[in-house]
Structure formats: structure tokens, C-alpha cells
Amino acid sequence: MYRSMSSFAIGCGRLPTLLAVAIAACLVSSVALATDEPADPPPMTTMQWQHLEKLINDRANEIANSRQFFEEDPRPTEVVATLDPTTKVLRLDLDVSFGRLVGGLELEDFQSQIRVGMEDLTDQIPGFNTTDWRIGGRDMDYWFNEDFPLPERDDDLRLQLPLREPSDENPPISQLEGPNDGMYVQSTSSEAVLPRIVVAAGHGAYHHAKFGWTTQRERVNGVLEDDITQDFVDHLFRMTQLNGGDPVRVRADNAGLTHEASGLSARSVAARYYLEALEPENDAIWNSKPEDPSDLRERNQDIRSRPLYANAIGASAIAHIHTNADLPKASGTRVIVHPGRGADLAMGRLTLCSMRELIHADERYVGYTVPLDPNTVSEKGENTQAEMPSMIVEVGFHTNPNDAKLLLDPDFQRLAMRGVAKGMRLFREGASCESFRVGAQPQMTANVGQQVQMPVDLKGHPVYPVDISVKQVNCKEGQACRSERRLVASKKAADEYRFGYLCWHGEEEAPLEFVVFAKDVDGVATPSVTYTLTCKKQS
């Protein structure tokens, strides 16, 4: 909602030359948004499509040439934007020389900067679908497969991987929860173990062929993305356990260990090196495309190592945790999935919906932008190479001073990652992202002297236990209002709960009102709902 409101505001201001139709569209849209009902904007005329295409084309080229994105600077760079009014796809073409850069972080950053820098324009495309990058006329999948072929899906490789030994900091769920006792360690059958969820902290220090050991990002507004993603993953790891998954890291969590080759803390180095230590025999995971002559070879291997490892261990989902970069005004969460992968999109949607619910549950963060739809982006190697539902969660923009403050705030970190863990659970359960609320109740009636039993209908997917609160609000003067709080441990207990009220003489005059709300253990509270009860004289 925040996102669409602000982009409409920008959209209406940015197209002064469009016809009166556009102005009408803006008016209609703001009215519709004010009443919270989506309205179909009127279709755009051919002239409007062409105008928007030109604005997008100019912006893309402006950003592409605004700074040096690549160690070997190819500027001047030409991007050709084509907008298809039928499919609502924005196609961006680069020349064939960019093909060799596919799979590398430099190209991802370049494409990401252009895509995000144009969001105020692409938001004006009614029903905007996706950005389709082409290099030499071929789509990104072609280049990924051409340049960096996926290793053969090899059962031998999977068998070679030792079962992950439970450790102190990574106890098996079987030790946390009674009913699963022993299952994790005894059985190797995929039905018996909890779903493995790879929780991948983005980036980490790598070895640059010329400059030696270096971080992948720079510290901005106090945030070093390479490190802070690990803090987020600490939370996500725990929350994934609480949500019934078996989390798997791709970077070391122990700051006390030293990574020998670099002399750095093991926690600060990239996944490539952790996986090398973990799986020295399986170099296809962490040393893919070893002949790559680029100085950035190991950084590029790091990107691929994450999904390749997830593939090898048969993970059921993977979440890549990042922070975002753009102009200082860009703000809020983004989730990025690969185009044409329905499961990934569904997981991304549920994740955003849950993140919004959890982050906004704390009044300090209610204004934080969490859009409801993921961005579909074809150039992300972390997603492309994953054989299971995969998404990149850009929690916030470290380039925005306000976002950066939140990214450093442990309360915000915890809520954001609770949202991710919950969204992934809802995806596994095939659940919807119905928001947590108390269902409306038809008006109740009871005779004076009769005890009425009011059920409380909880909707959505709270994390139990849940606290149900019922409070009478319009009791007579001099009479105490009845109120009750009840902790219910499960959905079943919530369904069985009844609030009892006995109608008294003198209460027949006006309906009685009770305010009902609930709060779950994650701290998410429902809006208040009013139940009414009419007490009748016995006839």
C-alpha cells in the first residue's frame, strides 16, 4: 500500500505532458486508494505507451553511463528499452559483449541499479509484468546455461555429502520437540526429516586476484552488508526452527574461529570458503568454472556456490538475505524471484505478506515499506541456479539513512526475519497469507438470567500461544465492566474457547458491547472487533 500510494503520487507528477485521460486516471486512482479498493486504471493510449517507453529508455541509459560498474569499463553503454503493451513486459537489450559477464556480481549490480532506478516509471505501467533483460537478443537463461552450465544433477554427489552432524549451535529439532524424537538422526529418508531450508547470508570477504582479501561491499551509513546479513541469518536460523524447518547455513556462524587462508574471522568470509572447508571433495560446489580468468573469479564462484550447495543437499527452499543499494531516497523491503517460476513467486508473496505483518506489528516500524509483490528479475545467479524455490530478500536499503538505522536495530532484525520464516512456513503448508484477525460475530441475544457462551473466531495463521482478550465497554454506571484474558495454546484450544456472560435484570435497555482482540507470541495483534449482545426479558 505505501509503495503504490507513493508511486502513484510520483507517477501523477511525472507525466505533465500526457493527456487529460492521465489526469483523470490519477484522480480515479487516488479516490480508489483512499477507500482501499483497487480500481482498474483506464487503458493507456499508444501515444502514452510510446512516451513512457522513451522516458524509460532515457533513464536506463542515464543510469548505465552514470558511473563505472565494471572493472573493464565498457562505456559508453547502450541499453535499448522496448515496452510491450500486450504482455506488459519491459525488454532491455544489451550488446553481446555483456554475455561473458553473466553470472558475475558486477553485471547483477548494474542491472539491479537500472531496474530499481526506474521503479517510479515501471510502476506507471498498468499490470506491469517483469523486466526481461536480453544480451545479444538472447535471454538471461540462455547465457547462464551457455557460460556457466549447471553441473549434472548427480546422485553420486548427493551421496558423497555426509549427513550434517548436529552440533551445539545447531541442535537437531528432534532434541527441541518431543514428537520428532530421534527421527532426524536415525533416518535418512526424506519423508522422515524436517524440510531443509537454506538460510544464506549474502556476500562475505573473498579473495580478489589483484587486491587480495576484501569485502564484497563497502560500509555505508554504518552498515557493512557482508557482515549484517550474518546477523539477520542468526535470527532467521532460530525462527526457521520455531516454524518447523531444518535451517542450514552456507557461511560459518562462529566468530571465534579463524579462516586460515585469510586470517579473517570465519564468520566474515564468503560462503565459497565455508563450503570448501565443509565439502573439500565436492569442488563443483565452491570452485565452479575454475578456468574463469577474471580477478573476481572467487566472488562469482561464491554466488553460485550457494544454490549449488542447496541443490546438492536436496534443500526444499532457499532464502538469500541481502541489504539493498540505490539512491538515498530508495527505501523498504524487496523480494526478488526468477521469472516464470510459480512456486518461487508464491513463496516470495507469502514472505512479503508475513514480513509486512510482523514488521508493522511494532508501532515504531508501521511506516516501513513492504510491498506485496516480489520483483521478478532474470539476472540473479543465486536464484537462477537453484533447483528449489529460491528468493532474494533485500531487507532494506543500506544507502538510505533511515533504513540503515533499522537494519542495525536488533528488534527490527528479529521481526523482519520472523516474517521471512513465517512466510516460508505458510508456503510449505500451502496456506494463504490471510491476515491475523478476529472474525465478525452476528449479533447475539440471550434471556435475562441466561448464560451466553460467545465463541471467538480467529482467522489467519498466528504463531501459538495466542492471548485472547474480551472487554465489556458500555456497562452501566456504577457497575464493573467484565473482562477476560485467556491464553490458548493451539488452534483447537482457540476454537473451543468461549467467553461466558450472564444477562442481568436491567440490561435489556440497550445492547451490550464487548471489544475482542488477540495477540500472538510473535507480538502480532489483531484489530479490535466489537461483539454485541442483546439481553431480553424472559417471555
Report, in Å, the least distance between residue 324 CB and Zn ion: 7
Dist CA 453 CA 328 (whole Å): 55
Residue 61 has a CB neighbour count (10 Å cut-off) of 17
Report, in Å, the least distance between residue 421 CB and Zn ion: 20
Dist CA 378 CA 381 (whole Å): 9
Q: How many CA atoms lie within 13 A of 418 on its CB side?
A: 20
Report, in Å, the least distance between residue 228 CB and Zn ion: 10
Q: Is 510 exposed, middle or buried (0-12, 13-18, 19+ CB in 10 A)?
A: exposed
Closest residue to Zn ion, based on beta-carbon distance: 322
Q: Which of 468, 469, 470, 475 is nearest to 503 (CA)?
A: 475
Nearer to Zn ion, 302 or 507 (CB): 302
Secondary element (H or E) of residue 156: helix 155-160
Secondary element (H or E) of residue 423: helix 410-429
Dist CA 319 CA 322 (whole Å): 10
Nearer to Zn ion, 195 or 202 (CB): 202
Nearer to Zn ion, 304 or 322 (CB): 322
Cα-flanking dihedrals φ and ψ of residue 420, to 5°? -65, -45
Nearer to Zn ion, 322 or 414 (CB): 322
Q: How many CA atoms lie within 13 A of 401 on its CB side?
A: 0
Calculate helix-pair angle for 410-429, 342-360, nearest 10 degrees.
Answer: 140
Report, in Å, the least distance between residue 105 CB and Zn ion: 8
Report, in Å, the least distance between residue 110 CB and Zn ion: 13
Nearer to Zn ion, 105 or 345 (CB): 105
Nearer to Zn ion, 48 or 113 (CB): 113
Nearer to Zn ion, 322 or 437 (CB): 322
Residues forming the site for Zn ion (CB under 5 A): 202, 322
Report, in Å, the least distance between residue 393 CB and Zn ion: 10
Nearer to Zn ion, 267 or 322 (CB): 322
The SS3 assignment for 321 reads strand
Report, in Å, the least distance between residue 299 CB and Zn ion: 12
**Buried/exposed code over 266-282 (b: 16+ C-beta within 10 A; e: otherwise):** bbbbbbbbbbbebbeeb
Report, in Å, the least distance between residue 214 CB and Zn ion: 15
